[in-house]
Amino acid sequence: MHAVLSGRCRFLNRHIQWHQAPPKSLLHMSCRSCSPLGSPQFRVDVQHGPPRGFRPRIIHFMPIQRSCRRLHTIPVAPLMFTGLLIGLWIWKCTMMVVFQNKIIYMPGLPPTARSERIADWLNRCGGVQWRDERTKAADGTDLAMAVATVPLPKGKQPVAAGVRKSVVAHVYVLYFQGNASSIPPRLPALSWVLRAVSGSKQYVMAPMELTFVCLSYRGYWTSRGRASEPGIRLDAEAGANWILQHHERTFGKDSTTRPILLVWGQSIGSGVATNLAATGRIPEKLPIRGVILETPFLSIRSMLETLYPQKWLPYKYLWPFLRNHLDSYANLGLIAQKAREKGGDAPFIYILQAERDELVPREQTERLHQRCLELGLPVEKGIASVALHQEAIARGQGKQLASEAILKLTKRALEASLG
């Protein structure tokens, strides 16, 4: 038996029911409203129907409404990916603001930086004897220093003890290191500079001595505490105070021997040096006579723009949240203003630039030099050829330029003090 029942989909109300299932029956039902094959119909094909004599019974049901709808999915994956990027962007910005001290200052690099010893490097210092010294900042933080004393021109031996108190002056160089590492690995290069200063006959000066003081910031080397710009300001002031105390212990408080203070900052230390010269609370008996800026930069903000110039990166837009500025450009203005207010001579600025500096653009060094000229600050610039950022005094020419800078600043300070 073959039967075909057809009708509209919304008016289908006939179902065929047998009391006994037909053997080998096959029912095919298809909704043709979902295909372009015409009007919606149902077709029921019955093959091998019921036995002879069996009469089907038609049962009527209420109309059944059925519709075929397509599901429209929302693009969830792109939304999740975009939200993840925005979340990571905000998280990165927050971490940079909260942990900026740990990002800017890196006292733990390399891993041996905190365990270095002066004794491990003395055999590379060419006979310059360095010693450990300790001092405390105004907030009680214990600080480490490396100190050495060498004779200035004319004479390979230190000034005799009996003559020491009658010398005209004693020169002190307060050194502020660059980021990462510690003081001991820097001592061989600094020792070369000191030997060049001691053995030079370029300038005629009365026999005297020079004491080189390398200050270790809080958190660096064996100094206590954690690095931050306000804390490092206190450290720099503590270094200057130690120098005055050392001078008075050596020559006496009423001695006529004048202390000549020069400050030397390398890279991030250049910001520390200009901070001290501009706003540092240092003794009036110990004015800063000269500033050596080795591979300096304008400010932390300028370095953010230099290291992350891409507009889509958030870092350079976070400068309003900076707690560390090390703004040498602004400090130079304060140094000039301070000199005008006191009616004295401004410290001489010597800028030592690395010719192939891969970190600080040449434009920043040139802007600092131009800034000094505009402010009327005495300035001179030297360029260490074929030197990268960390190699300014690692090569022969840079060492020679640094030693000549110390002698020039010393000679100028002596002339100013005697005149």
Domain residue limits at 113 = 101-418
- What integer pLDDT is reported at residue 50 of this predicted model? 55
Long-range contacts of 228-233 (CB under 8 A, 24+ apart): 228/101, 228/105, 228/323, 228/324, 229/275, 229/323, 229/324, 229/325, 229/326, 231/137, 231/139, 231/141, 232/272, 232/275, 233/272, 233/275, 233/276, 233/279, 233/280
pLDDT of 35 higher than 70:
no
What tokens were used for 387? 């030197």
Residues 208 and 257 in one domain: yes
pTM: 0.80
Q: What is the mean pLDDT of the chain?
A: 84
Residues 67 and 148 in one domain: no
Count how many domains the chain has: 2
Predicted confidence (pLDDT) per residue in 368-407, tens digit: 999 999 999 999 999 999 999 999 998 889 999 999 999 9
- What integer pLDDT is reported at residue 316 of this predicted model? 83
Among the candidates 52, 72, 92, a domain finishes at 72
CA–CA gap between residue 196 and residue 175 (Å, rounded): 17
Residues 288 and 407 in one domain: yes
Residues 65 and 105 in one domain: no
CA–CA gap between residue 332 and residue 282 (Å, rounded): 17
Band (pLDDT 50/70/90 cuts) for residue 363 is very high
Within-domain flag for 90: no
Residues 52 and 132 in one domain: no
Residues 13 and 108 in one domain: no
Q: Report which of 372, 363, 298 is spatially closest to residue 335, judged by C-alpha positions.
A: 372
Among the candidates 55, 72, 89, a domain finishes at 72
Within-domain flag for 87: no
Within-domain flag for 117: yes
What type of residue is 167? V
Residues 107 and 250 in one domain: yes
CA–CA gap between residue 297 and residue 404 (Å, rounded): 22
Residues 277 and 387 in one domain: yes
Predicted confidence (pLDDT) per residue in 314-340, tens digit: 788 888 999 999 999 999 999 999 999
CA–CA gap between residue 321 and residue 107 (Å, rounded): 22
